[in-house]
Amino acid sequence: MATAPPISRPQDVPQALRATDEPPVVRAALILATVAFLSLFLFVPLAAVFAEALRKGWQAYFASFRDPHCLAAVRLTLLVAAISVPLNLVFGLMASWAIAKFEFRGKSLLITLIDLPFAISPVVSGLIYVLIFGMQGWFGHWLDARGVQVIFAVPGIVLATIFVTFPFVAREVIPLMQEQGTEEEEAAVSLGAGGWQTFFRVTLPNVKWAVLYGVILSNARAMGNSAPSRSSRDIFADAPTRCPSTRRCFTTSTTSSRPSPRRPCWRRWRW
Amino acid sequence: MTASATRRVLPGFGLTMGCTMLYLSLVVLVPLAALIARGGGMGWRAFWEAAASPRVIASYRLTFGAALAAAAINAAFGTVVAWVLVRYRFPGRRLIDAMVDLPFALPTAVSGIALTAIYAKNGWIGRHLDPWGVEVAFTPLGIVVALTFIGLPFVVRTLQPALADLDREVEEAAASLGATRLQVVGRVILPAILPALLTGFALALARGIGEYGSVVFIAGNMPMRTEIASLLIITKLEQYDVAGASAVAIVMLAVSLLMLLAINGLQRLAGRRYQGGL
């Protein structure tokens, strides 16, 4: 590394083609292909979201927030995210510490289990909670006798959201923590720092961006997911409504008639 | 550094491991046990009838076929996108780079509605496809479009670091030994990024198999034709056929588990290659 002087660095021949560059034609074609593909699958759909939302102007857009249904839905979405994201943050950090800083048997199995909610269809996860807490399920009658409602209510939505967003923080933090090793923490401990001190002064500053990214991902998923709460709630019309889905929209689209693309009921959920 | 030495120095293993196991059991393991107990309790014959009726088989075929097609499209074009974003500098690159994440952050129902609106017969894109006889919305093709949208970030985001890590000197060496650019791409670059590409493909596939929110809007949801497996679970649940829904869910769960094991295997393979290369 240190011995080789920069004999023919590419900067010395500014106009010439480097051996590792494509001809300009190929380069332009690739960029064009990228833009075309992304336009078709990404930009136009995103533009459509905003165009639809603002079609009747800003006033109509903000008026839809005054609709009590929608307000309740927004409030519920925020509440669910406010409960599930901090929980997953704390347990994601704990899992990362245990997995990244220690060696133990069954570690890869544990990682696979943490990843599992990511690969499971959110509909399946919703069904799981119906099986446990529903009237036909394990705890359904017991809870019902005590007047506690879990599914078709806020706790069910929170549980399903926690399940779906469980892996994100841990998934982001574990690789980084593993890469950083344990030397810094060992140094801190040998200098007399306590466990919490070590964690907050040494480990956390090192992984803060990964933690932040994991929280953002998990928040995005918590706010944007409709499937688990749907299967654990939507059978009853008067159940709490979350923003991305309403019962009416889904039942009309599941009766196998072709839903017209401009059906008014989902226009309320355009954001 | 041995395991026992590490364990002695750093505190907190018992606490964090215990809490992790408790939380994992409550959130993941007990619910999954409930599902399997439910499906196992119905007997083999009933399970087979529920999980392998013609309508269910058609939905599996559609779900896996569409997810495979979408993941393949993403693997091909996602590689080009990642390559362009990593290697080239052009106006708007940062904007495109940031927008690649949006399908992940957007509520799935919102993306489904937007895709339906533009690919329907009177939509922005559907209008131009209709004269050619190409129908996208409310056909299996629409499902592939929705899953491509959903899966794009996974392929691009897995490939980008792998491409950025590539050593230019290896390419230079190949070129100086007389390889054409095409040979360098095929023989040097592609093998190096193959594990990342496969991982991205598998992630997009796993996500596509489980996707629900965006697909229901664009699919049309006709039984036997455009009904995906996730929707079938909900339909069965709405008819209070909990056992049937569990049976389909168990099949989906088994497939998810296999996918996940494959992904982890690929990542281990990639890690070994990386270490071997050093």
The encoded tokens of residue B77 equal 């074009």
Q: Who has greater pLDDT, B161 or A19? A: B161
When pLDDT is cut at 50, 70 and 90, the band that residue B181 belongs to is confident
| Contact indicator for A219, A206 with CB cutoff of 8 Å | no
Q: Most confidently modeled of A28-32, A58-62, A175-179?
A: A28-32
When pLDDT is cut at 50, 70 and 90, the band that residue B121 belongs to is confident
Q: With a cut of 0.85, is the ipTM above it?
A: no
| CB within 8 Å: B35 and A225 | no
**Percent of chain A scoring above 90 in pLDDT:** 0
pTM, whole model, 2 decimals? 0.73
- Is residue A230 predicted with pLDDT exceeding 60? no
- Is residue A32 predicted with pLDDT exceeding 90? no
| CB within 8 Å: B113 and A245 | no
Rounded to 5°, angle at Cα A49 from A59 and A226: 105
Judged by DSSP in three states, A34 sits in helix
Mean local confidence (pLDDT), B155-166: 84
Q: What is the dihedral of CA B36, B212, A118, B201, to 10 degrees?
A: 120
String of b and e for B160-199 (b: at least 16 CB within 10 Å)?
bebbeebeeeebbebbeeebebeebeeebbeebbebbbbb
- Cα–Cα distance measured from residue A98 to residue A171, given in angstroms and rounded to the nearest whole number: 13
pLDDT, tens only, A165-220: 888 888 778 878 877 778 888 888 888 888 888 888 888 888 888 888 888 888 87
From chain B, the residues in CB contact with A122 under 8 A are 210, 212-213, 230
- Is residue B165 predicted with pLDDT exceeding 50? yes
| Contact indicator for A132, A138 with CB cutoff of 8 Å | yes
- Is residue B72 predicted with pLDDT exceeding 90? yes
- Is residue B47 predicted with pLDDT exceeding 90? no
- Cα–Cα distance measured from residue B147 to residue B120, given in angstroms and rounded to the nearest whole number: 16
| Contact indicator for B13, A98 with CB cutoff of 8 Å | yes
Q: What is the pLDDT of residue B69?
A: 94
First-to-last alpha carbon distance for chain A, in angstroms, is 53
- Is residue B8 predicted with pLDDT exceeding 70? no
**Percent of chain B scoring above 90 in pLDDT:** 7
Using only the alpha carbons of chain B, give its radius of gyration.
23
- Cα–Cα distance measured from residue A173 to residue A214, given in angstroms and rounded to the nearest whole number: 7
Q: What is the pLDDT of residue B73?
A: 93
From chain B, the residues in CB contact with A108 under 8 A are 264
Amino acid making up residue B218:
I
For residue A260, count other CB atoms closer than 10 A to its CB.
11
- Is residue B200 predicted with pLDDT exceeding 80? yes
| Contact indicator for B273, B195 with CB cutoff of 8 Å | yes
Q: Which residues contact A142 (CB under 8 A, 6 or more apart)?
A: none
| CB within 8 Å: A37 and B125 | no
When pLDDT is cut at 50, 70 and 90, the band that residue A7 belongs to is low
Lowest mean pLDDT among A118-127, A142-151, B71-80, B203-212: A142-151
From chain B, the residues in CB contact with A117 under 8 A are 27-28
pLDDT, tens only, B219-253: 877 777 778 888 888 888 778 777 888 888 888 88
Using only the alpha carbons of chain A, give its radius of gyration.
25
Rounded to 5°, angle at Cα A139 from A134 and A140: 35
Mean local confidence (pLDDT), A237-245: 37
Q: What is the pLDDT of residue A257?
A: 31
Residue of A41, A102, A225 with shortest CB distance to B7: A102
Q: What does pLDDT average to over chain B?
A: 81
The encoded tokens of residue A199 equal 């964690």
| CB within 8 Å: B10 and A189 | yes
The encoded tokens of residue A166 equal 């469980």
Mean local confidence (pLDDT), A242-250: 35
Rounded to 5°, angle at Cα B251 from A163 and B211: 50
| Contact indicator for A112, B260 with CB cutoff of 8 Å | yes
Q: What is the pLDDT of residue B71?
A: 92
Q: What is the pLDDT of residue A109?
A: 79
Whole-angstrom CA distances from B210 to A124, A188, B84, B111, B252 are 8, 44, 29, 16, 8
Among residues B92, B106, B80, B55, the alpha carbon closest in space to that of B244 is found at B55
Q: What is the pLDDT of residue A262?
A: 31
Q: What is the pLDDT of residue B144?
A: 92
- Cα–Cα distance measured from residue B70 to residue B203, given in angstroms and rounded to the nearest whole number: 12
Residue of B105, B213, B227 with shortest CB distance to A226: B213
Q: Who has greater pLDDT, A122 or B155? A: B155
- Is residue A255 predicted with pLDDT exceeding 50? no
- Is residue B4 predicted with pLDDT exceeding 60? no
Amino acid making up residue B113:
I
Residue of A nearest to B9 (CA): A186
| CB within 8 Å: A225 and B100 | no
